[in-house]
Amino acid sequence: MKMLPILMLAASTLSPLRAQDLGAPPRSMPADASPSFEVATIKPTNEDLVGAAYGMQGRVFSTRNTSLTYLLAYSNDMQQNQIIGAPAWADADKFDIKAEPNTPGQPNHQQLNSMVQKLLVDRFKLTFLREKRELPAYVLTLEGAAPKIAKSNDNSATTPSFSFHGFGKIVVTNSTISDFVHMLQVLVLDRPVVDQSGLTGRYDFTLTWTPDDSQYFRTGMKPVQPSTTADTPPDLFTAINQQMGMRLRSARVPVDVLVIDHVEKPSAN
């Protein structure tokens, strides 16, 4: 498998890749299916790699250069700093995984998360507790009476689309604000992001900004900084305010955390 940054091989509902980029996907799994991985191999990464890969390629779930804390964070829709009590090796040791579901079809985001969680419990002998703790985070709120973004007209689609155009432009389609906040947390920002906008419904909009070095850190690459000119896009916080009519601010708020009780290195395949 070609090494790809996490931005380009994210879990299914967040992936900016289109079907033609990896070939037409299989049909979807039934929505009520509760799949597990039927066959899975976990091996130590044997190369010195930058960045990580995580996602579905056809019927195969693959990762490269991923730590246990990385896998826990992604499969629980968290940041790695929301994983509490992990031993040092859980962040330092990197693994390559290949696994195939026991249920026909392409899993949705929640089904993929569930399968990875089951795999980690089984192969890493993981036990844990879920709690809420106050951590540094970003909070998204509505700035005025109404947002500046347009409601989506596509009533048939059930999942959002995030199309990335470089490191500082995202075309968002059919997304709830909760979906958008989740995307920011998983792919762009370095802290948990909490939606306090109170907005419902789905929206279509484009967000353009100039990223800083703290953003897209999971890709293992730093965004190229453009030369400053009159038409250089603003920073993310200003862009959200100007283009969306919303405010993204730093705050300490209660967020979900996963507290590890027991974990072991996986057995050899």
pLDDT in tens, 108-132: 888 999 999 999 999 999 999 999 9
Tokens of 225: 């900084």
Tokens of 250: 């730093």
- Residue 92 banded pLDDT, cuts 50, 70, 90: very high
Residue type, 116: V
Distance CA 67, CA 63 (A): 10
Mean pLDDT over residues 144-150, rounded?
Answer: 93
Interhelix angle for 109-123 vs 68-75, to 10°? 140
> What is the per-residue pLDDT for 222?
62
pLDDT in tens, 30-41: 989 999 999 899
pLDDT in tens, 148-159: 999 998 766 667
Distance CA 115, CA 119 (A): 6
For residue 47, pLDDT beyond 90: no
Angstrom distances, CA of residue 234 to CA of 117, 153, 207, 238: 38, 28, 11, 6
> What is the per-residue pLDDT for 84?
96
Tokens of 62: 């693959």
**Helix H or strand E encompassing 257:** strand 246-262
> What is the per-residue pLDDT for 4?
33
Tokens of 119: 């795999």
How many other C-beta atoms lie within 10 A of the C-beta of residue 155?
8
Nearest of 112, 244, 259 to residue 181 by alpha carbon: 244
pLDDT in tens, 184-211: 998 899 899 999 999 999 999 999 999 9
Distance CA 3, CA 152 (A): 35
Sequence-distant (6+) residues with CB within 8 A of 236 are 188, 209, 211, 212, 215, 248
Mean pLDDT over residues 226-238, rounded?
Answer: 82
For residue 14, pLDDT beyond 50: no
14 and 187 in contact (C-beta within 8 Å)?
yes
Angstrom distances, CA of residue 265 to CA of 90, 123, 203: 8, 8, 43
From the number of C-beta atoms within 10 Å of its C-beta (0-12, 13-18, 19+), residue 55 rates as: buried
Q: What's phi and psi for 205, nearest 5 deg?
A: -165, 165
For residue 69, pLDDT beyond 90: yes
- Radius of gyration of the chain measured on its C-alpha atoms: 19
Tokens of 255: 């967020």
- Among the residue ranges 44-53, 72-81, 225-234, 243-252, the one predicted with the least confidence is 225-234
- Among the residue ranges 20-24, 88-92, 114-118, 210-214, the one predicted with the least confidence is 20-24
pTM: 0.74
